[in-house]
């Protein structure tokens, strides 16, 4: 199913895309709360497989109901790459890495992902590196580091754990950059459905662990694993794809820096973890960086009666 290029539309705020991005960051933030429960009972590979299987079932049902058909040939390279790297390898590496490092180290290492997305998007996707985007990334990364360090416990960090978090950041960035061109051909639902299914296939070697651990895990942990598959995976990755098709990969990557701030709020509301002033300050830095990265350059108003060249209008829009 060929899509019209959303970015070719007239300049302005796409409110549906903003709403989709908001749903994504809120649900991805909620995943951290659920992982705390499920991750205590399930090993990294089993948790990733259970999450992806749950997501594939929901996505497959939606795909059948909507009768969207198979993705076009042009979308498959991106779907396969993202399915292996982002849905498969990333989830296992992240689950494993966060068991071996403290929260501060995980925040520092994993949150280089959006920066890598901006750099790869600027290079491979020819999106450029707008100064506002790079400034926002720097501010948000600083905020994410502050949040992570302020919420760390007494745990240590292993070299393997750091390498796993770094691998997770790289596969996340590579997955997003692979997804962007695929969305020119396939819908967000088509992409997410088949990428999630490929990720589940990648994680099938952990089947025996999932079966044995599910037999002993409490119902709450299993429900949290299913929640991870339905909401932060099936729904959030689909809304992410919808929003990504309508903006640059760099800007979408920067938007995910709102996640640490939302995690702080959710931990406060649902886990009773009252954040300190430093943590709150880091969360505000994250949000400020997102605001800077998503801001537009103001174009001075033209004099009365004057007409602006179409080339100037195009140039101003592409710099946003």
pLDDT exceeds cutoff 70 at 178:
yes
Tell me: pLDDT of 265 over 70. yes
Question: Tell me: the pLDDT tens digits for 47-68?
Answer: 999 999 999 999 999 999 999 9
136/320 Cα distance (integer angstroms): 13
Query: Rounded CA gap, 164 and 90, in Å?
Result: 9
What pLDDT shows up at residue 320? 44
Instruction: Yes or no: say if 252 and 243 are a contact pair by the CB < 8 Å rule.
Output: yes
Tens-digit pLDDT profile for residues 26-54: 898 888 778 877 888 999 999 999 999 99
Report pLDDT digits (tens) over 69-97. Answer: 999 999 999 999 999 999 999 999 988 88
Longest dimension (CA), the chain: 75
Q: What is the pLDDT of residue 318?
A: 39
- What does the pLDDT read at residue 235? 97
Q: What pLDDT score does 275 carry?
A: 64
Of 147 and 89, more confident: 89
pLDDT tens per residue, range 205-257:
999 999 999 999 999 999 999 999 999 999 999 999 999 998 888 788 778 77
Residue 76 tokens, joined: 């498959």
- The structure tokens listed for 283 are 């969360």
Predicted local distance difference test score (pLDDT) of residue 175: 93
> Binning pLDDT at 50, 70 and 90, where does residue 155 land?
low
Question: Residue 271, SS3?
Answer: coil
Closest CA to 135 of 258, 318, 285, 298: 285
Strand, helix or coil at 128? coil
Residue with the two structure tokens 């549906």? 16
| 304, HSE (Cβ side, Cα atoms, 13 Å) | 0
CA 179 to centroid of chain Cα atoms: 12
pLDDT band at 100 (very low <50, low <70, confident <90, very high): confident
Q: Which long-range contacts (CB under 8 A, 24 or more apart) does 219-227 make?
A: 220/37, 221/37, 221/38, 221/40, 221/41, 221/42, 222/38, 222/41, 222/50, 224/34, 224/35, 224/37, 224/38, 225/34, 225/38, 225/42, 225/47, 225/50, 225/51, 225/54, 226/50, 226/54, 227/34
Burial group, residue 274, by CB count within 10 angstroms (0-12, 13-18, 19+): exposed
Q: And the tokens for 309?
A: 């060249």
The pair of structure tokens assigned to 270 is 């649902």
Per-residue model confidence (pLDDT) at position 110? 76
Confidence of residue 109 (pLDDT cuts 50, 70, 90): confident
This prediction has a pTM of 0.78
- Confidence category of residue 303, pLDDT binned at 50, 70, 90: low
pLDDT at 288: 78
Model confidence at 143, pLDDT cuts 50, 70, 90, reads: confident
Average pLDDT, the chain: 80
Question: In which band, very low, low, confident or very high, does the pLDDT at 311 lie, cut at 50, 70 and 90?
Answer: very low
């Amino acid at each position: 199913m060929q899509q019209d290029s959303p970015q070719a539309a007239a300049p302005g705020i796409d409110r549906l895309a903003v709403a989709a991005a908001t749903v994504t960051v809120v649900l991805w933030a909620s995943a951290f709360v659920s992982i705390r429960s499920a991750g205590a009972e399930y090993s990294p590979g089993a948790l990733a497989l259970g999450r992806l299987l749950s997501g594939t079932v929901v996505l497959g049902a939606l795909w059948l109901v909507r009768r969207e058909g198979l993705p076009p040939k042009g979308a498959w390279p991106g779907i396969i790459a993202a399915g292996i790297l982002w849905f498969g390898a990333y989830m296992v590496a992240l689950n494993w890495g966060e068991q071996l490092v403290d929260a501060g180290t995980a925040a520092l290492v994993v949150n280089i992902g959006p920066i890598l997305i901006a750099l790869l998007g600027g290079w491979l996707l020819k999106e450029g590196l707008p100064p506002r985007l790079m400034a926002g990334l720097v501010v948000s990364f600083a905020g994410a580091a502050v949040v992570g360090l302020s919420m760390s416990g007494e745990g240590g960090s292993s070299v393997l754990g750091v390498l796993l978090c770094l691998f997770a950041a790289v596969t996340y960035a590579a997955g997003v950059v692979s997804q962007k061109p695929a969305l020119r051909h396939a819908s967000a639902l088509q992409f997410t459905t088949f990428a999630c299914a490929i990720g589940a296939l990648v994680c099938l070697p952990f089947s025996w662990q999932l079966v044995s651990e599910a037999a002993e895990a409490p119902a709450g942990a299993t429900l949290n694993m299913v929640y991870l598959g339905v909401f932060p995976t099936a729904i959030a990755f689909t809304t992410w794809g919808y929003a990504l098709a309508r903006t640059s990969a760099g800007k979408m990557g920067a938007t995910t820096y709102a996640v640490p701030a939302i995690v702080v709020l959710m931990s406060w509301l649902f886990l009773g973890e009252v954040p300190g002033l430093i943590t709150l300050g880091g969360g505000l830095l994250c949000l400020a960086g997102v605001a800077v990265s998503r801001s537009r350059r103001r174009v001075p108003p033209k004099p009365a009666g004057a007409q602006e060249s179409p080339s100037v209008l195009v140039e101003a829009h592409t710099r946003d």
